[in-house]
Amino acid sequence: MMKYTTLLALCLFSSLTMADPDDAVLDAQMRQACAPLFAAAGFFANAGPCANVTGGARNCVLQNIAQGGASCVAFEKEHDDFFDDGKDEPIVR
């Protein structure tokens, strides 16, 4: 019985470590990494340079690397599958 329990625990642990992160988790991480660029204007805070994007978010990020875009670009490179999932979807303006 002890061997069965140990084997079951190892199988569960390995399945958890090999699972891809959930899209909701990646979305939350992306919002944190890109927050300096996409932050909405608050009562005391200024809006980020990409808060109202009309020319495309990717262009805005690349044009504003010095204002916090570097972390956003690094996140995108690290999780390219997450971004590629929607690349063929039309952009709604």
Cβ pair 20, 47 in contact under 8 A: no
Reported as a single tens digit per residue, the pLDDT across 19-66 is 455 778 888 888 888 887 877 655 555 677 777 666 667 777 778 888
Q: Is residue 69 a contact partner of residue 37, using CB atoms and an 8 Å limit?
A: yes
Taking the C-alpha atoms of residue 67 and residue 55, their distance in angstroms, rounded to an integer, is 18
pTM of the model: 0.51
Inter-residue contact 47 to 41 (CB < 8 Å) = yes
User: What is the pLDDT, as a whole number, of residue 15?
Assistant: 44
Looking up tokens 């470590």 gives 17
Mean pLDDT of 2-13: 47
Burial, 79: exposed, middle or buried (Cβ in 10 Å; 0-12, 13-18, 19+)?
middle
Q: What 3-state class would DSSP assign to 10?
A: helix
Written as six digits, the tokens of 90 are 């039309």
Q: Which SS3 state, helix, strand or coil, does residue 40 take?
A: coil
